[in-house]
Structure 1
């Protein structure tokens, strides 16, 4: 984990900071703005740091075309035409101001993933505090350049990307003015198989590109996200729904409110548990030092008597000399009368 720090709405992200948890609303509003409001409120109550939208329309994503290339033939959205899928999933531009205002009233950060320049312009008019670049747009260098020119922090997912493609995106963003860049490891599969989560890549991204790194998690449940924090992830993005039974476009791989609450708690606990390397004794351990073994007299001895192997034992508690001195004490003489059950000490031993 490098020493970089980024701020979004005065919340520091990076070294020595707890993980930044993003609840991805995506299409889980199911076309209902009131449901979007419910999602934002629920995410806030669960403890998320931010909610994230996706800003596009079907017409800014693709064209209404029936050619086979525009059809989805496998996976979660099998049988959909691209245009129809995005029409179903879009967050209308006219909702955005109300959503931003509502989030501000609650006190939770909201930002979005723009998918073209018109979306960036809309989000700039709302003074978005940050931008997200989706994995599928990580090779859209003109879009990245346009977003970076705003000077706002960028969180970029790297799903599907080769190392060279990530480097191109990073160089483009930085050359265009982005000074606060976070890279998210991501497996662009919906849902992503747990055995392909490849969380080790989180540390690689941070070192290779000198950035804060994190995880955009499409696996089921929250295990991968919590494990990622232990591996150095400082940002966790997770799709969020009120109920998977509502069957929205992204519901099957989204977590529900109670799961989001546990994710926020468990991620912070994992971060706290990592600590710092070293052999320093923790304060919580101090009171248990007494239960270590140490050397005790197990027979009464008169002053001047030699100590034999049967006179002392290595037992609990730990108020006597350390066990490593056992053989050194054999043959020494006691400096005063001692009773069985007395802890050994150098003051009781004749030189």
Structure 2
């Protein structure tokens, strides 16, 4: 049995509410005021945590125009020409971190980050981060995995560019360096992700195969896939957010507005209540409608001593009469008193 994992004051595990992470990514558009507004909005919407991406352009790629670093013309980010330009635009300046953490602490919401090299771990260790995230492309960076494992904090790992061998290596490496609080996120690194490529059944298989809590990093449009993931056992949901100001930002084309994000959380909480348990008993609410079932009633006037037939009794709603399962027994027997249309059948009126 897997133990719960605590990120700050919130426990993640079986029977616990789904842990919902709001991913800011580069949707702040290079404005710290917008990043702060997003933190406040996500907190108000009900997020459990805010995640940022902690890198500098020169820690994630090279400033090169060579073909290897060019962004393909059919890529969603083709307008940025090359990787360096994209990350220059999309990154969250480290100079913002003191202010971002200040606001998160004042609100009482966890703020942590995806780290992309060892320097970003060193940077975040200056702040009260309670967890780390490893993005899909970094799952093969064993030095980075070792670095985060040695912080002693829970590590969330996305698997969007990993095969099962990569996941096994990553989990093994984290455990070898002291990290046992690992959460694996099913992820498809496609923006937006076609629903048919999500394969939500993998969430449960990740848990079973690696004995780790599992969830979903969701890049699909809308909220339906995340809700379905919760119904299938996801313990964590991560979703990109944006402000509803219609300003185009780097990841806005597949991100939820704050209103949509809030609605997702509402529906996740509704789904959690609905999952329930295996139970064939009538619930209290259903019991109130028990009399809506069929039962046996007199459908034509019957004289005392007259036989019950298909022509004078009938299975109808409501359910105050004799159970319909006794109809075959009643047919052919005689009435013990006069009966009129609409009278309930009961054993008292049957000879």
Q: Aligned to 1:331, what secondary structure does the other structure show?
A: coil
Report if the CA contact (8 A) 1:215-1:236 is conserved: yes
Q: Aligned to 1:138, what secondary structure does the other structure show?
A: helix
1:45 corresponds to 2:36: no
Corresponding position of 2:291? 290
Give a deviation string over 1:285-328, Cα, whole Å, max 9, x none.
11111111101233455655543333321111101222121011
Corresponding position of 2:28? 29
Corresponding position of 1:91? 92
State the alpha-carbon separation in 1 of the partners of residues 290 and 171 from structure 2. 51
The Cα shift of 1:103 comes to: 0.7
State the alpha-carbon separation in 1 of the partners of residues 326 and 18 from structure 2. 47
Q: Which moved more, 1:296-305 or 1:170-179?
A: 296-305
Give a deviation string over 1:21-53, Cα, whole Å, max 9, x none.
111001111221111101101111212111101
Report if the CA contact (8 A) 1:135-1:157 is conserved: yes
Note closer, same or farther for the CA distance 1:4–1:329 as it changes in structure 2 (3 Å cut): farther
Report if the CA contact (8 A) 2:295-2:322 is conserved: yes
The Cα shift of 1:344 comes to: 2.2
State the alpha-carbon separation in 1 of the partners of residues 282 and 168 from structure 2. 42
Q: Aligned to 2:332, what secondary structure does the other structure show?
A: coil
Report if the CA contact (8 A) 2:295-2:319 is conserved: yes
Report if the CA contact (8 A) 1:243-1:251 is conserved: no
Q: Deviating runs (4+, > 6 A) in structure 1? A: none
State the alpha-carbon separation in 2 of the partners of residues 347 and 150 from structure 1. 77
Give a deviation string over 1:60-102, Cα, whole Å, max 9, x none.
1122233221222241122532222212211122221221111
Give a deviation string over 1:186-222, Cα, whole Å, max 9, x none.
1101222233222222222122222222111111222
Corresponding position of 2:118? 117
Count of matched residue positions in the alignment of Structure 1 and Structure 2:
349
Q: Which moved more, 1:228-237 or 1:328-337?
A: 328-337
Q: Aligned to 1:239, what secondary structure does the other structure show?
A: strand
Corresponding position of 1:61? 60
Give a deviation string over 1:149-169, Cα, whole Å, max 9, x none.
222111111001111111111
Listed as ranges, the gaps of 5+ residues in structure 2 are none
Q: Aligned to 1:98, what secondary structure does the other structure show?
A: helix
Corresponding position of 1:254? 255
Corresponding position of 1:206? 207
State the alpha-carbon separation in 1 of the partners of residues 203 and 350 from structure 2. 57
Q: CA RMSD in A?
A: 2.0
Corresponding position of 2:227? 226
Corresponding position of 1:280? 281
Query: Which structure 2 residues correspond to residues 70-81 of structure 1 after superposition, within 5 A?
Result: 70-74=69-73, 75-78=75-78, 79-81=80-82
The Cα shift of 1:3 comes to: 5.8
Q: Which moved more, 1:10-19 or 1:45-54?
A: 10-19
Note closer, same or farther for the CA distance 1:95–1:343 as it changes in structure 2 (3 Å cut): same
Corresponding position of 2:173? 172
Note closer, same or farther for the CA distance 1:66–1:309 as it changes in structure 2 (3 Å cut): closer
Report if the CA contact (8 A) 1:244-1:252 is conserved: no
State the alpha-carbon separation in 2 of the partners of residues 335 and 209 from structure 1. 70
TM-score normalised over the length of structure 2: 0.92
State the alpha-carbon separation in 2 of the partners of residues 299 and 247 from structure 1. 72
Corresponding position of 1:189? 190
State the alpha-carbon separation in 2 of the partners of residues 321 and 181 from structure 1. 58
Report if the CA contact (8 A) 2:2-2:211 is conserved: no
Report if the CA contact (8 A) 1:244-1:251 is conserved: no
Q: Aligned to 2:226, what secondary structure does the other structure show?
A: helix
TM-score normalised over the length of structure 1: 0.92
Q: Which moved more, 1:23-32 or 1:329-338?
A: 329-338
1:8 corresponds to 2:7: yes
